[in-house]
Amino acid sequence: MAELIDDLYRLGAPIKDTKAPEGPIEDKWTAAKFDNKLVNPSNRRKLSVIIVGTGLAGASAAATLGEAGYQVKSFCYQDSPRRAHSIAAQGGINAAKNYNDDGDSVYRLFYDTVKGGDYRSREDNVYRLAEVANNIIDQCVAQGVPFARDYGGLLDNRSFGGVQVARTFYARGQTGQQLLIGAYQAMERQVAAGTVEQFTRHEMLEVIVVDGKARGIIARDMVTGEIETHLADAVVLASGGYGNVFFLSTNAMGCNVTATWRAHRKGAYFGNPCYTQIHPTCIPVSGDHQSKLTLMSESLRNDGRIWVPKNREDADKDPRDIPEEDRDYYLERIYPAFGNLVPRDIASRQAKYMCDDGRGVGPLVGDFRRGVYLDFASALSRMSREAIDEKYGNLFDMYQRITGEDPREVPMRIYPAVHYTMGGLWVDYDLETTIPGLYAVGEANFSDHGANRLGASSLMQCLSDGYFVLPNTIRNYLAQGPFEPVAPDAPEVREAEESVKSRIDTLLSINGERSVDSFHRELGHIMWEYCGMERTEEGLRKAIDLIRSLREEFWRNVRVLGSAETLNQSLEKAGRVADFLELGELMCIDALHRRESCGGHFRAESQTEDGEALRDDEHFLYVAAWEFAGEPSGAPGAPVLHKEDLIYKAIELKQRSYK
Amino acid sequence: MNLTLKIWRQAGPEAPGEMVTYPVSDISEDMSFLEMLDVLNEQLNAKGEEPVAFDSDCREGICGMCSLMINGEAHGPEVTTTCQLHMRSFSDGDTITIEPWRAKAFPLVRDLIVDRSAFDRVIQAGGYVSVNTGAAPEANNLQVRKEKADRAFDTATCIGCGACVAACPNASGMLFLGAKITHLGELPQGQAERDARVVKMLGQHDAEDFGGCQNLGECSAACPKEIPLDVINQLNRDFMKAKR
Ligand SMILES: Cc1cc2nc3c(=O)[nH]c(=O)nc-3n(C[C@H](O)[C@H](O)[C@H](O)COP(=O)(O)OP(=O)(O)OC[C@H]3O[C@@H](n4cnc5c(N)ncnc54)[C@H](O)[C@@H]3O)c2cc1C
Ligand code: SF4
Ligand code: FES
């Protein structure tokens, strides 16, 4: 057995993507589509696919595979597929249509996305993403998605997230909702046509692997508690991201890691778990009761000025009583060239430093004030109130509803929050995981974003995967069919079923003292403090110890009431938190081993003289793909790291600089 | 704040239900209504009583998952979703009655949770544009007049929460249906199936046991997305035309 490194993990054999065709990057996707085998329409009816998740990635995949004629089973934990977390996305979706003739192109979108991810994503996948993005817009418009239009009746674009071209398509502040409703409707059309069968309020709790191939899932009917076996020829996970490991995040309450974590435990590698995107403009925590954080669109930074008091004594003063000379407009001071428009990771980190320095504002939460001002006073003196309202009115109203303060009167308070995750199941060019027949799409995979997701690029990836990529790659796998049927009582099925049942029984029988939420909160606190915006060797080691003992206590002292045979929300949460408790440790190990800073991963030990993130391409130009090696905690279960070297042929690596 | 909550508890669709009174204390006005219920649930769990089941997910007013009749009003006293309702809308010492959506088409699942899958089936009956993936023409080949695009948008904002149904004395789903009919009917993409759509969707609406519309307007008044009442006129006009 390989030696234990840092007392935490072992090094395994390198891994690489073997599926992307050779040749120039522009031709790869065309070649792959041609080379992939076809399935005769009459055979498609005999092939079945399970899709877990009905967000943009899952719903679009279900609709497309259903249209093609496969038998699809679709699962989600909400009461309707339309409620998947994708619905909450506000800003927009990118595509290189170049409708404004401002110099945009597929190549530029590709370039910006690789650079934005701080050169930690895979070139071939990102190029394909940029290539199919235009089709997404066509598809959505044809479905009736009401994108913003100009008076000539044509589609409108805006520029977003510091990009110099206007390539973002949007639907007011509800782009995610409108795109998801489009995909949902396309999927419901297939439900009516009989190709897609939908299972709502069903939670997938295990993958069934037979002869090394994914052949089904175990799901719990969340209403009756029944444990069901669903078999198929291939399984697709479209179950979203795991930002809720932090407890407080902008994610929906139910977002979880269970589907991907269960697959990981069955042999699927987990890629770059430590990469988390933190968004600088969220409404700060107001008290211990808080259940989630709300994102305020980043566009606010275009006209708002960010500051904190120069003196700690002023933290609890009315901001309007703090004179100009006592305010520290710290972003404008440190980054004169970009000012308040520095990228997300930089704006977030600086806000944290200010609060750590005791100059944060807003209510004390614990013994800390976690907020900085985003002040519209100077914009209000420059522009009319009407003009400001026209631009930001709905955001101001939302803020006022949540905080009870009018940002036109008192400066708004903001603080960074966990937003989405770039890590996920490792997949190859075909979006297949290391378990044959198991695919991962959308936020559930690691592939396209590197260490940062740029604004408007996540929606693009979800729909690209679901509408265009997966349907073309999975057919290559399905063409190997017909597959040997799996007996419903095969030992692998029994085993999966038993493990789900015994886990549920254990959770219900512990009957300890603490609620599930209290464990989740505590885990979230550990993750945020030590594996959040800034990470250090010492902090991460501490976090790993804390998580291990918290996990031990969880299995000894959690209290889950009620029974397994009914709708039981505490039980649902308990299963998810149990998985977060394992994922959290792996995130810390991944963060610890990556002794460089890149994108959303800032290692304090790796910074330039003036405090900027310092990448180390010589040692870390790779994807970290983690293999599960047994129950975590300690040497026997130490995870195994497989490195996938990142090879850049089309793009030259550069250091990011915003000074 | 200290409050008295009267909450509908029902273990399952067949089980008997009853109103149960719970006091809660130390409620801050910054809490959302659902966070206030989280606090109650933590207290119940500590006492060994099963928490109250209620639906929510995004807690941002957009997924449509949260529900609740609060003091007899869908989503409570403000025009918003329950997750965006904050405790500053209440006063210390208040008694608050909390019940599930009540409508034949939305059968009760447990406590405050109902089954709204009837809405999915109404959409399945025709609430889409039939276009296969990969078959779409270049987006800008299709122009849409700004006013039409705006109206399509305003009606596409429906989040499928069901407050309209809960607020309607007849438990009609016409506002929800009208919103979808109008959204797709305003757009050139929606024209080919326009007649068939309204006939099929309305048929499904009635088959699901939603009530008829008497133009009372309670639906639109309760709608957190302010879907205008005139989408129902649009629905009726489209239906008459399709029948001719
Ligand atoms: C507030 C906010 C704003 C955003 N704004 C933007 C933006 O402007 N532009 C952009 O590009 N991106 C944005 N994003 C990111 C983007 O919305 C997400 O990355 C993306 O929607 C993820 O989609 P998905 O299909 O992968 O997963 P989701 O939409 O998260 O769907 C997950 C699905 O999986 C199901 N599921 C999960 N676990 C299980 C299980 N165990 N069993 C059964 N079902 C399960 C759920 O029911 C759900 O259907 C934003 C995110 C947030 C939080
Ligand atoms: S019409 Fe309004 S109240 Fe009815 S489901 Fe839609 S958003 Fe909810
Ligand atoms: S929880 Fe999503 S709208 Fe209220």
DSSP state letters, chain B = --EEEEEEEESSSSS-EEEEEEEE----TTSBHHHHHHHHHHHHHHHTPPPPP---SS-SS-S-----EETTEET-SSSS-GGG-BGGGS-TT-EEEEE----TTS-EEETTEE--HHHHHHHHTT-S----TT-PPPGGGS---HHHHHHHHHHHT-----HHHHHSTT-B-HHHHHHHHHHHHTSGGGSTTHHHHHHHHHHHHHHTT-B------HHHHH-TT---THHHHHHHHHHHHHH-
Which tokens belong to A46? 């005999």
CA distance A127 to A31: 14
- Supply the ipTM of this predicted assembly: 0.98
**B144, B221: one domain:** yes
pLDDT digits 0-9 by tens, A45-86: 999 999 999 999 999 999 999 999 999 999 999 999 999 999
**A293, A270: one domain:** no
Q: Which of A344, A370, A453, A475 is catalytic?
A: A344
**pLDDT computed for residue A39 by the predictor:** 96
- Pick the last residue of a domain from A418, A445, A469: A418
Burial B60-79 (b: 16+ CB within 10 A, else e): bbbbbbbbbbbeebbbbebb
CB neighbourhood size of A630 (10 A): 12
Report the candidate in A154, A140, A55, A177 with the shortest Cα–Cα distance to residue B129: A140
CATH number at residue A314: 3.90.700.10
Number of domains in chain A: 3
**B36, B137: one domain:** no
Region of poorest pLDDT, from A201-210, A255-264, A635-644:
A635-644
Which residues contact residue A495 at a Cβ distance below 8 angstroms, ignoring those fewer than 6 apart?
A: none
**pLDDT computed for residue A346 by the predictor:** 85
* Radius of gyration of chain B measured on its C-alpha atoms: 20
Is A621 inside any structural domain? Answer: no
- Record: contact A149-B146, CB cut-off 8 A: yes
CATH number at residue B235: 1.10.1060.10
The tally of CA atoms less than 13 A away on the side-chain side of residue A472 is 19
Which tokens belong to B56? 């929510």
CA distance B63 to B65: 5
DSSP class per residue in A24-69: -GGGHHHHHHHHSPP--HHHHTT-EEEEE--SHHHHHHHHHHHHHT
**pLDDT computed for residue A161 by the predictor:** 65
Average pLDDT over residues A360-386: 90
Percent of chain A residues past pLDDT 70, beyond the cut = 99
pLDDT digits 0-9 by tens, A106-144: 999 999 999 989 999 999 999 999 999 999 999 999 999
**pLDDT computed for residue B10 by the predictor:** 98
Is A387 inside any structural domain? Answer: yes
Is A1 inside any structural domain? Answer: no
**A458, A471: one domain:** yes
Nearest ligand to residue B164 Cα: 2
- Pick the last residue of a domain from B79, B109, B139: B109
**B135, B224: one domain:** yes
**Which residue's CA is the closest to the ligand 2 atom numbered 2?**
B223
CA of B208 to the centre of ligand 1 (A): 30
B28/A contact by beta carbon, under 8 A:
yes
The residue written with tokens 């929460």 in the block is: B161
Mean pLDDT of chain A: 94
Mutate to test the pocket of ligand 1, among A74, A77, A295, A503 (most ligand atoms within 8 A of CB): A77
**Which residue's CA is the closest to the ligand 2 atom numbered 8?**
B161
pLDDT digits 0-9 by tens, A31-50: 999 999 999 999 999 999 99
Evaluate whether A419 touches A277 at the Cβ level (below 8 Å).
yes
Evaluate whether A21 touches A120 at the Cβ level (below 8 Å).
no
Higher local confidence (pLDDT), A477 or A393: A477
CATH number at residue A566: 1.20.58.100
| A482 preceded by a cis bond (ω within 30 of 0) | yes
Partners of A510 on chain B (C-beta within 8 Å) are: none
How close B185 comes to chain A (CA, Å)?
A: 10
CATH number at residue B81: 3.10.20.30
B91/A contact by beta carbon, under 8 A:
no
Is A625 inside any structural domain? Answer: no
Residue A189 falls in the annotated catalytic set: no
Give φ, ψ of A186 to 5 degrees: -60, -35
- Pick the last residue of a domain from B57, B80, B109: B109
**A303, A414: one domain:** yes
Which tokens belong to B102? 């009540």
**A204, A316: one domain:** no
Number of domains in chain B: 2
**B123, B238: one domain:** yes
Question: Which residues sit opposite A421 in a β-bridge?
Answer: A276
**B138, B31: one domain:** no
* Radius of gyration of chain A measured on its C-alpha atoms: 24
CA of B173 to the centre of ligand 2 (A): 9
**A82, A197: one domain:** yes
**A231, A301: one domain:** no
**A249, A132: one domain:** yes
**A213, A292: one domain:** no
Which tokens belong to A499? 């493990």
**B124, B238: one domain:** yes
**pLDDT computed for residue B133 by the predictor:** 97
CB neighbourhood size of A18 (10 A): 8
**B56, B162: one domain:** no
Give the alpha-carbon dihedral of B85, B87, B91, B93, to 10 degrees: 120
- Model confidence at A287: pLDDT above 80: yes
Give φ, ψ of A571 to 5 degrees: -65, -40
By CA distance, what is A99's nearest residue in B?
Answer: B140
State the closest ligand 3 atom to the C-alpha of B57, by its place in the atom list counted from 1.
Answer: 1
**B97, B143: one domain:** no
Cα A643 → chain centroid: 21
The residue written with tokens 């969220």 in the block is: A282
Task: Work out the angle between the directed axes of helices A569-593 and A258-265 (0-180°, nearest 10).
Answer: 60
**A39, A169: one domain:** yes
Which residues contact residue B122 at a Cβ distance below 8 angstroms, ignoring those fewer than 6 apart?
A: B173, B176, B177, B180, B201, B204, B205, B208
pLDDT digits 0-9 by tens, A487-527: 999 999 999 999 999 999 999 999 999 999 999 999 999 99
**A538, A581: one domain:** yes
**B65, B126: one domain:** no
Is A546 inside any structural domain? Answer: yes
Burial B166-196 (b: 16+ CB within 10 A, else e): bbbebbbbbbbbbbbbbbbbbbebbeebbee
- The answer to whether the CB of B160 is under 6 A from ligand 3 is no
Mutate to test the pocket of ligand 1, among A76, A448, A573 (most ligand atoms within 8 A of CB): A76
CATH number at residue A72: 3.50.50.60
How close A5 comes to chain B (CA, Å)?
A: 40
- Pick the last residue of a domain from B109, B140, B174: B109
Is A374 inside any structural domain? Answer: yes
**A395, A304: one domain:** yes
A121/B contact by beta carbon, under 8 A:
no
Q: H-type helices in A86-240, by residue range?
A: 106-116, 123-143, 175-193
**A309, A445: one domain:** no
- Model confidence at A590: pLDDT above 70: yes
Is A8 inside any structural domain? Answer: no
Range of the domain at A378: 279-418
Which tokens belong to A364? 């004390």
How close A198 comes to chain B (CA, Å)?
A: 10
Residue A167, burial from CB neighbour count under 10 angstroms (0-12, 13-18, 19+): buried
Amino acid at A446: F
CA distance A482 to A479: 8
**B104, B126: one domain:** no
- The answer to whether the Cα torsion of A645, A648, A649, A650 is positive or negative is positive
**B102, B124: one domain:** no
Range of the domain at B198: 117-242
CA distance B50 to A353: 42
State the closest ligand 3 atom to the C-alpha of B56, by its place in the atom list counted from 1.
Answer: 1
Q: B31, B43, B63: best mutation site toward chain A, by most A Cβ within 10 Å?
A: B63
State the closest ligand 3 atom to the C-alpha of B61, by its place in the atom list counted from 1.
Answer: 3
- Model confidence at A659: pLDDT above 70: no
Average pLDDT over residues A308-333: 94
pLDDT in tens, chain B (244 residues): 999 999 999 999 999 999 999 999 999 999 999 999 999 999 999 999 999 999 999 999 999 999 999 999 999 999 999 999 999 999 999 999 999 999 999 999 999 999 999 999 999 999 999 999 998 999 999 899 999 999 999 999 999 999 999 999 999 999 999 999 999 999 999 999 999 999 999 999 999 999 999 999 999 999 999 999 999 999 999 999 998 8
**pLDDT computed for residue A91 by the predictor:** 83
**B67, B24: one domain:** yes
Q: Indicate the pairing of strand A196-199 with strand A71-75.
A: parallel
Indicate the pLDDT class of residue A658, thresholds 50, 70 and 90. low
Mutate to test the pocket of ligand 3, among B37, B59, B67 (most ligand atoms within 8 A of CB): B59
DSSP class per residue in A282-337: EPPP-STT-----B--GGGGGT-EEEEESSGGGGGS-GGGS-GGGEE-HHHHH-TT
